Amino acid sequence: MSNSKKIVLAEDNTTLSLLLKFRLEKEGYQLFIAEDGKKGIELIEEHNPEMVLTDIMMPFISGLELISHVRNKLNLKIPIIVFSAAGQEEMVLKAFNLGANDFMGKPFSPNELVIRIKRLLM
């Protein structure tokens, strides 16, 4: 597990987080789950992950603020995938402007997410 790539997931839907943790750990990744953006930032600073997955709408600190923190404060170039719900198209554009690499609209297929993660971490 120590050699596996680390991913921080910031997502307030605990059931989805659990599902993704199960699925991604099966693929050999090490997943750190945060229920909000604030905890997400803490986990990123603590574990220095290879990738970040984040929802846009979250309590305390939004996904956009998290991306901004990663890119501008921590100066990390790691890939970031954003999850967005319907009607958040403008938010997605803002996320890309802030430095997100990819996005997935909810509802999404976990299998597709795995493919995108693999591609970005190649």
Partner 1 sequence: MSISQNVLQYFYQLPILLQIVWLCSVGLTLLIILFLFYLYYLRSYLRGEESVLKELFTQYETNLITYLYSGDIDVEISSEQKKISDKMKSCAKNTFKRNILISVLSKLKNDVSGEIATAINLLYIKTGLINYSINKLESKKWEIIALGIKELTQFEVKTAYNEINKYQNHPKHEVRNQVQLYYVSLFQFKGLEFLNNLKTPISEWNQIQLLEILQKFDDQEITDISPWLKSDNDSVVLFALKLAKIYNQFQVIEILLELLNHINKDIRICAIEILGYFHVKEIKEIIKPNFFDRSNEEQISFFKIFEEVIDAEDESFIIENTSNANFEIRFLAFKLLKMIDVNKWHAIKLNTTEIDNERIFNYLEAM
Minimum Å distance from CB 84 to partner 1? 11
The β-bridge partners of 30 are 6
Of 28 and 110, which has the nearer Cβ to partner 1?
A: 110
Pairing of strands 80-84, 51-55: parallel
Minimum Å distance from CB 32 to partner 1? 17
Minimum Å distance from CB 48 to partner 1? 27
Of 62 and 76, which has the nearer Cβ to partner 1?
A: 62
Minimum Å distance from CB 21 to partner 1? 8
Contact residues for 53 (Cβ-Cβ < 8 A; gap 6+): 7, 8, 9, 10, 11, 20, 80, 81, 83, 113, 117
Which positions lie near partner 1, rule CB under 8 A? 13-16, 18-19, 22-23, 26, 83, 86-87, 106-112
Contact residues for 122 (Cβ-Cβ < 8 A; gap 6+): none
Of 66 and 113, which has the nearer Cβ to partner 1?
A: 113
Question: Given the structure tokens 């693999």, which residue do they identify?
Answer: 118
